[in-house]
Structure 1
């Protein structure tokens, strides 16, 4: 929808690079996504970039999550499934339902109302929900109305044309309105295998490890920050859109600290680098944020009882062959 250079500038403004996106698997903080979208939207002059992205989104890209939702027997059960499984896609976000004017209002809450650019994500999410509903109600279905945050503006008519429904502004959250009688609409074409999926199956099928604690979240963002070259406490706090003291308090409540989480992370990465790469010990020390290689060597010996060199050499030893196995001459 725009040039790579515009996107690159937006990524840099959020402290992220394409290298991070290519090389690391994990959760990208919603706040970072919001900043990127806001920068791109301003560059191209599109007030509703998020909604356009949501409208163009291919729901099947969610893989097993989409199969799980679209394998439900009815629309109401599909909405329930999407509510329950959403944390696997967007930790901290929620889909909420309420009754209004005789209709069901389906709202998306990202908990990011204080972050510039959050409306792009919120509007986009509601348009993605529309894709799931159309699986049950047909491609010609349109919401009774759409609710958006913010005030009316001159280009609102363009959005109404895109969505095919009237828009109400000034809402607390982005939302869509659905007729109550449509909730029990049966699935006209259940996704093959979707009916057999359970929510407990999804993390493994999606290749995800759900973030169950602040310590898990810090570990995830350390992986992102390692590529960016900043694994400091301040750097991780920025990725989480909180201050260092707030992060410290949250970790303390779980009985740990940033130093302990980072030490576990560094030990895991150091073991893998020594076993699976040809990086020198000095290079590994630098990657993990040690200014002095000797500091890394002391830390590694405390973790494992071995020096990094001895650990690497032990991993390269040829295992003893079992009985009856002839050595190649």
Structure 2
């Protein structure tokens, strides 16, 4: 049986390729795509899916090329759930923050087939847990940091841009 990898929508990269291209230049940018086994135009092909392992390799290569162990954190500022096309639109069309988070959790499989997104309600807080299916790769650190952008964009959409999470935990 062939080894299969988890897939995600191409829109998951949002503006990250443009930011990386601007930072690294054309030649290094192309090398990062090559290292990942991707065609350089994959991110603009709406409705297409790509292997998550390729995104992991792309961000690992970009961080290495930039010499920046925290590249993913700076990329988080460039990505929002609003970049995710119909999936993101459906999440943000919810009437409340809690219902938006519930929607995102219940339809994550349409965005990324094996990722998880769990909503855990506590008496005085709500915890949103994201699990990237290919978390064993070299670029997972960058993926995890970059994912903060879309995850925090949902509460910010409802509560304002100044909202900040109380705590961030890597699971």
**Which bracket does the TM-score occupy, shorter chain normalised?**
0.7 to 0.9
Shift of 1:8: 1.0
Query: Could you say if the C-alpha distance between residues 77 and 4 of structure 1 is closer, same or farther in structure 2, counting changes exceeding 3 Å?
Result: same
- Structure 1 gaps of 5+ residues are 148-170, 174-329
In structure 2, the residue matched to 1:205 is: none
Shift of 1:61: 2.2
- Structure 2 gaps of 5+ residues are 1-22
1:152-199 CA distance string (max 9 Å, x none): xxxxxxxxxxxxxxxxxxx3x2xxxxxxxxxxxxxxxxxxxxxxxxxx
- In the alignment, structure 1 residue 66 sits paired with structure 2 residue 88: yes
Q: 2:141 aligns with which of 91, 115, 119?
A: 119
Query: Could you say if the C-alpha distance between residues 121 and 17 of structure 1 is closer, same or farther in structure 2, counting changes exceeding 3 Å?
Result: same
TM-score, normalization by structure 2: 0.75
In structure 1, the residue matched to 2:113 is: 91
- In the alignment, structure 1 residue 18 sits paired with structure 2 residue 26: no
TM-score, normalization by structure 1: 0.41
**Aligned residues of 2:102 and 2:119 also touching (Cα < 8 A):** no
Distance in 2 between residues matched to 1:60 and 1:82, nearest whole Å: 12
Structure with higher strand content: 2
SS in 1 for 2:49: coil
- In the alignment, structure 1 residue 33 sits paired with structure 2 residue 63: no
Distance in 1 between residues matched to 2:33 and 2:74, nearest whole Å: 19
Larger radius of gyration: 1
**Relative contact order: is structure 1 or structure 2 higher (C-alpha 8 Å, sep ≥ 6)?**
2
Distance in 2 between residues matched to 1:15 and 1:38, nearest whole Å: 13
**Aligned residues of 1:107 and 1:126 also touching (Cα < 8 A):** no
Query: Could you say if the C-alpha distance between residues 77 and 16 of structure 1 is closer, same or farther in structure 2, counting changes exceeding 3 Å?
Result: same
In structure 2, the residue matched to 1:314 is: none
**Aligned residues of 2:105 and 2:119 also touching (Cα < 8 A):** no
